[in-house]
Chain A
Amino acid sequence: MTIRKQTIAFLVAAALLQGAAYAQGVTAIMNGRVLTGAGETIENGDIIIRDGRIARIGDELSPPAGATVIDAAGKTVTPGVFAPISSLGLSEIGLDAEANDAGPQQQVGFPLGAALDATDAIRSDSTLIPINRAGGVTRAVTAPTPGDSLFGGRAAVIDLTGRANSVTRARVGQVLALGYGGAVRAGDTRLGAWALLRETLDEARSYAANPNDYVRRPRDGRHALADLKALGPVVAGDQPLLVSINGATDIRNLIRVKNEYGLRVIIVGGSEAWKVARSLAAANIPVILNPAANLPAQFEDLASTLENAARLNAAGVRIAFTGTASGTHNLRALTQQAGIAVAHGLPYDDAIAALTRNPAMIYGLGNDLGSLATGKIADVVVWDGDPLEVTSAAEAVFINGVQQDIDNRQAALLRRYRDLSRGNLPHAYRGD
């Protein structure tokens, strides 16, 4: 790949999406094997990026005069990986309390849950961002995790430019723990979790219907107002719940509650979701799943199988990927997760879509993000091989049409320590 000319400037466009900085100028990515994310493959495909968006895509285009040309011959070009769930920017180090704002500790009595908003604490200069960006991740949902409350708070979509304002869209979902994760926050029984959920939703409705009446209640007879305010868009059916839930029984009940309250729901986990696949498809509930989950890890996971992704997809459920091994620090391994799903029956193009287009659709950003088509925001990755293959790497990463630096802290550590000879100065003077 050669970069003939770098003409990259920034401007902040007041666009549909907040905070997006678009490249001024034109870039042409030529002759790559283009996987659009929408199921099509263009052999020897060309993409023209103008002002941060895809201006043209085809197989016999010519680079406009003055364009920066990327020769992608022999390479694979995809939309950027869109991580559908993470705590990126909130958690630098899992077990270091000061470097982890992903969520309140449990059993400390912290009073709020739904009110938390990821955008209050996203560190866009987290080292995790360039590390994951180097692996082809261009957008991510970053979400708080629940403490003592069933509700964890509000998630946001960010880009991985590392710019100070990297929020693409705030408040794209409200985190909710159900299944066993709900039970442990509600008297150690799923019955408690469902009762508490309904009671809280009822309260949110009461508050939304008449806030003035609600605040006249005695303080000990009401929920935290901040939580109820935050749940307003949820009970209005505008903001989806990001529900961690696994067991088929729990999922069936979730569908009932969804219909009862008119909620929007996204499942995270869903190890037994394949057993409820048709109902999920009918209810238009997407599932963000771990395609490597195949153990009876808990009683709610007894039917977990490596074929979960393939079966849900075949039933028409929109899927995307998560997993312990591809969590916040290793979102770069989402491509491996997709490969695992393919090895167990998921059609290849659908796996690419599950990494790119599906997350964008799930969060209502499909018009702008997630696929390579004219008019879309240019989040594009050029890979040195099959992007799902564990031996492949991202060679060029574009976000909002801007080619990104793929250097990162791990690369700097490598530069420092690849030569262990004593030298004339200590290692602390090497690398950068």
Chain B
Amino acid sequence: MQQKTKLMIVAAAACGLSACANESDDAAPAETPETAAEAQEAAPATESAEAGPVRPDPDPYPSTYEPYPSGTTLVAGATVLTGTGERIESGSVLIENGKISAVGPDLAAPDGATVIDATGKWVTPGIVDIHSHLGNYPSPSTQSTSDGNEMTKPNTAEVWTEHSVWPQDAGFTRALAGGVTSLQILPGSANLFGGRAAILKNVPARTVQGMKFPGAPYGLKMACGENPKRVYGEQGGPGTRMGNFAGYRAAWIDAQEYKKAWEDYWSAYEVWDPDGDEGAPEAPVRDLQLETLAGVLAGDIVLNMHCYRGDEMAFVLDMAEEFGYRVTTFHHAIEAYKVADLLAEHGVCAAVWADWWGFKLEAYDTVTENAALVHAQDGGCAIIHSDSDTGIQRLNQEAAKAMAAGRRMGLDLPEETVISWLTANPAKAMGVFDQVGALEAGKMADVVIWSGNPFSVYALAENVFVDGALLYDRSDPRRSPRVDFELGQPGNNATGGAGQ
């Protein structure tokens, strides 16, 4: 079906963001039983009969990320928001060996520590964006680089979006200058099953593996509503919301059978006598699509569900119970506030924009209080997401709008609480809260020093540390990354790099 294409900057009502034309997804889990890396240790890749049964490698493209060198750094005298609800005036954060070693009001600088006087500044955990298309819809946006949406059939659970991510997307650097240190890249939302998500550290690298967040679980992107209908309505379907659900359910049934076939095989292998007359049990044929879905059923892969309407979210929650899996996050959850109680009851997060709306009918009913209303539920989990290469640079401002709207309706929303919408909550939903999302001893030292209250339009990230290494310094062009594409281009020396 044809869409109105509006190339005018006029920014009419349409779709500047990938949420419309290209669509994206979302979602995020709260906890995963084991990380992919651990799973791999426990179950090495395909082996000979003697070494054990065939087990597909859960991590064939492993992270090669290693923190960059960093010394001991004490950030002192700042207003510190820990990400876990605490606010420390004149607070300090001590970074040692790439980790946060202490956070508190009165920390002494160890010998040899670099001390940063952050008096008057604010310090937060690095921002975590649960919904980004950096790398798979990179800059420049051309046919050549448009790799975010495998719009060839409604179920493409077999694709892994990391294979589309271009690490030379300048958008990563701009996001870094906005304080973003971890992000989840999702495939688009044309499909019922869009494919696997990739969680990255926002550190420039020559390879995607060099950015991959060590030990992070995989995610799966699914989509509700208008997008699959619109894309496949005249291409064999689904053409309706009921068609969407029939498609999901048929796939889950197949995935259950696939999962059982492997479990049966492993059980048979257990009881197989290598010295007996019978040959080794035969492993099922691998199917990448079903392998991903089976991973969700097993709880290894985190489910991100793009879903705008509250009534559809309710069906998705029932479907998850029908097949025994968990939805972690509804992305673009414009109507989350209508079912906020249901989401809290199921422990599902809502990832939302502050006030972006109206680009399609299922996005008609937003309220700027959406995040605050989700948060206000007992056990509610609100996340502010971007889905945009410019929005990701100012997630703090988006949260500020949502916070202010919530305050105006009378909710108690201090900054130390709201910062969790950008840090701890997405980290939990993505399954990486054991490592990032809060300023806590032992966590990765992903830290942002802001020029002032980050819930102000004037605040800028001045220093951004990833695993203790200073990777962005607004006052030092040598600490501002530039991707290959920008080198030697006109204008690149105008201001330079990440902060351009």
Contact = CB atoms under 8 A, between A and B. Distances in A.
B174 A391 contact: no
Given A244-B7, A275-B491, A389-B457, A327 B368 contact: no
Nearest to A294: B500
B456 A307 contact: no
Given A96-B361, A106-B5, A296-B139, A175 B10 contact: yes
Nearest to A300: B140
A122 interface: no
B200 interface: no
A324 B13 contact: no
**Highest count of chain B CB atoms <10 Å: which of A107, A298, A323, A330:** A330
A244 to B, nearest CB: 5
A86 interface: yes
B140 A393 contact: no
Contacts of B3: 95, 105
A426 B13 CA distance: 32
A327 B4 contact: no
Nearest to B7: A181
Interface in B356-405: 356-361, 364-369, 373, 388-391, 393-394, 397, 400-401, 403-404
Nearest to B498: A294
Contacts of A90: 12
Nearest to A97: B4
Interface in B331-361: 337-341, 355-361
B211 to A, nearest CB: 18
A191 interface: no
Contact of A303 (B12, B14, B341, B490): B490
A187 B288 CA distance: 42
Interface stretch (B15-23, B64-72, B82-90): B15-23
B114 interface: no
A391 to B, nearest CB: 4
A65 interface: no
Given A268-B10, A410-B368, A95 B494 contact: no
Contacts of A322: 9-11
A330 B355 contact: yes
A181 B174 CA distance: 25
B12 A145 contact: yes
B426 interface: no
A137 interface: no
A304 B394 CA distance: 17
A294 B358 contact: no
Interface stretch (A13-21, A72-80, A199-207, A335-343): A335-343
Given A145-B10, A342-B458, A302 B491 contact: yes
Given A95-B360, A302-B489, A410-B367, A391 B10 contact: no
A425 interface: no
Majority-rule SS of B interface residues: loop
Given A296-B485, A330-B356, A389 B7 contact: no
A87 B10 contact: yes
A324 B11 contact: yes
Interface stretch (A40-48, A156-164, A371-379, A414-422): A414-422
B492 interface: yes
B400 A390 contact: yes
Contacts of A108: 2
A244 B9 contact: yes
Interface in B7-39: 7-17, 20
Contact of A327 (B12, B369, B393, B459): B12
Contacts of B10: 85-87, 102, 143, 145, 152, 175, 244, 268, 322, 327
B140 A297 contact: yes
A186 B360 CA distance: 29
Contact of A299 (B6, B11, B140, B459): B140
A414 B367 contact: yes
Contacts of A105: 2-5
A105 B12 CA distance: 13
B409 interface: yes
Contacts, number: 242
A339 B447 CA distance: 24
B170 interface: yes
Interface in B169-186: 170-171, 174
B390 A324 contact: yes
A100 B495 CA distance: 39
Contact of A100 (B13, B17, B337, B401): B13
Interface in A71-122: 85-87, 90-97, 99-100, 102-103, 105-108
Contact of A295 (B174, B358, B494, B495): B174
A402 B14 CA distance: 32
B358 A391 contact: no
B500 A410 contact: no
Given A96-B360, A175-B10, A390 B337 contact: no
B171 A295 contact: yes
B226 interface: yes
Interface residues of A, number: 81
Contact of B8 (A181, A304, A339, A340): A181
Contact of B390 (A293, A389, A418): A293
B455 interface: yes
B488 to A, nearest CB: 10
A296 B140 contact: yes
B409 to A, nearest CB: 7
Contact of A330 (B337, B357, B499): B357
A143 to B, nearest CB: 6
Given A298-B141, A389-B457, A95 B404 contact: no
A184 B142 CA distance: 13
B422 interface: no
B434 interface: no
Contact of A417 (B7, B12, B139, B337): B337
B469 interface: no
Interface in B444-484: 455-460
B416 to A, nearest CB: 15
Contacts of B20: 94-95
B312 interface: no
A78 B330 CA distance: 39
B7 A180 contact: yes
A329 B357 contact: yes
B291 interface: no
Contact of A95 (B359, B394, B489): B359
Contacts of B141: 297-298
Interface string A280-323: 00000000001011111111011111110000000000000011
A326 to B, nearest CB: 7
Q: Which among A107, A390, A417 has the greatest number of chain B C-beta atoms within 10 A?
A: A390
Contact of B9 (A91, A269, A336, A393): A269
A298 B491 CA distance: 13
B172 to A, nearest CB: 11
B59 interface: no
A245 B309 CA distance: 37
A353 interface: no
Given A294-B393, A322-B11, A329-B356, 12 more contacts: A94-B14, A94-B20, A95-B20, A95-B360, A100-B13, A108-B2, A152-B10, A175-B10, A181-B9, A294-B174, A325-B16, A420-B341
13 contacts: A85-B9, A85-B11, A93-B361, A102-B12, A275-B491, A295-B139, A306-B499, A307-B494, A324-B16, A328-B11, A330-B357, A340-B394, A388-B457
**Smallest CB-CB A-B distances: 3 pairs:** A303-B491, A324-B16, A327-B11
Interface of A: 85-87, 90-97, 99-100, 102-103, 105-108, 128, 143, 145-146, 152, 175, 177, 180-181, 184, 244, 246, 248, 268-269, 272, 274-275, 290, 292-299, 301-307, 322-330, 332-333, 336, 339-340, 342-343, 388-393, 410, 413-414, 417-418, 420
Interface of B: 2-17, 20, 139-142, 170-171, 174, 226, 230, 337-341, 355-361, 364-369, 373, 388-391, 393-394, 397, 400-401, 403-404, 407-409, 455-460, 485-486, 489-492, 494-495, 499-500
